[in-house]
Amino acid sequence: MKIVFTPHAYISLAMIFSTILPIQSSHTNTILTEQGEKLQFRFDDTTQLTYSSKGRHYPILPNNNDDLIDIIIYLENLFSKDIAFVHDLPRLAHYQQVIYRVLSKDSRRTSFVLSKLPERYRRIASLHIQARKSFLLMEKKYGKPSLMPAWEIVPPEPIHLLLSYYYQAEQATGIDWEILAAINLVETGMGRIKGQSIANAQGPMQFLPSTWSEPGIGNNGDINDPNDSIQAAARYLVRRGGLLDIKKALWGYNNNDEYVNAVLLYSEILKENPLAYRSLFHWEIHFSVEEADLWLPVGYSQKIKIPISTYLTDFPESSPPE
């Protein structure tokens, strides 16, 4: 879907994203593909997505690969629809997120699942898994953290506002909105993470104060303001040559090839289907440590770094169920 940006071009898409209408409907086990082909799968109302019964609802993936394949098809089909009817979208999006985080660590299972998925869904799943694997390579290079982060996890800006910020930045600079959304996702989970990085980067788009203060970048805005930071990110990418070579510009944004690869992969997902932003927006903050892949929900707040064991003693539900 190619979006033509006029002063109000974002409105129809933003309305879809910002209006989630819960309705009662039965899930068919037949999907009509774009090619007019009927695709049969086994997921229906008798098949339930499983969540932990203790504390928060951490998604539990089925052990059976056929069941997992059915769930991927169901979720990706749901997220590709251009009508706003998705009930319980945040939990469904989190389930999607956990699927790809788990598969990215299991090459054998991933190979089987991808081989059985229809081409349309294989492409989507493959992009997600490749993006996540980029971060695993970064973890392998730099090591996993030994302490819980000094972060506060907060709700993001409303989805329609974030979309308007990306579109405004694209109109002003020519940098694709999908690139800006992907950076926002990988840097702070669409602004959910409040806290400084190891390098002292700050705000939703993680700017160094020294970069923010450069003429023509921060423009006397607030480094912690979502709109100001998104506009600044677009201007910075232009300065780094992003209109001619976005890959080179992204490397200037973060000097890491795997980071660049992940941003490009998530932006590709959005370019192929802008409605994918609806689920990415609802992805939760996960923090990968040796002990587990920890879920840090809205409300997590640590002013100083603390031992992982201390945190898990107080909040065992952050860890995936056994």
Tell me: pLDDT of 33 over 50.
no
- pLDDT tens per residue, range 119-165: 999 999 999 999 999 999 998 888 889 999 999 999 999 999 999 99
| Phi, psi angles (nearest 5°) of residue 126 | -65, -40
Burial class (CB in 10 A: 0-12, 13-18, 19+), 309: exposed
Q: Is residue 24 part of a domain?
A: yes
> Which tens digit of pLDDT belongs to each residue from 85-104?
566 889 999 999 999 999 99
- Mean of pLDDT values over 37-52: 52
Q: Is residue 69 part of a domain?
A: yes
CA distance 9 to 14: 9
Q: How many domains does the chain have?
A: 1
pLDDT band at 38 (very low <50, low <70, confident <90, very high): very low
Instruction: Specify if 88 maps to a domain.
Output: yes
Is residue 57 assigned to a domain? yes
Average pLDDT over residues 65-83: 89
Which structural domain range is residue 125 located in? 18-145
Contact 194, 152 (CB under 8 A): yes
In a domain, 258, yes or no: no
Of the candidate ranges 28-32, 158-162, 218-222, 290-294, the one whose mean pLDDT is the lowest: 28-32
Identify the three-state secondary structure at position 112.
Answer: helix
Structural domain contains residue 110: yes
**CA distances in angstroms from 197 to 150, 202, 222, 308, listed in the order given:** 9, 7, 17, 18
**Domain assignment of residue 153, yes or no:** no
Task: Give the predicted TM-score (pTM) of the model.
Answer: 0.86
Question: pLDDT tens digits, residue range 198-241?
Answer: 778 999 999 999 999 999 999 999 999 999 999 999 999 999 99
Residue 152 lies in a domain: no
User: Which pairing describes strands 306-307 and 147-148: parallel, antiparallel, or unpaired?
Assistant: antiparallel
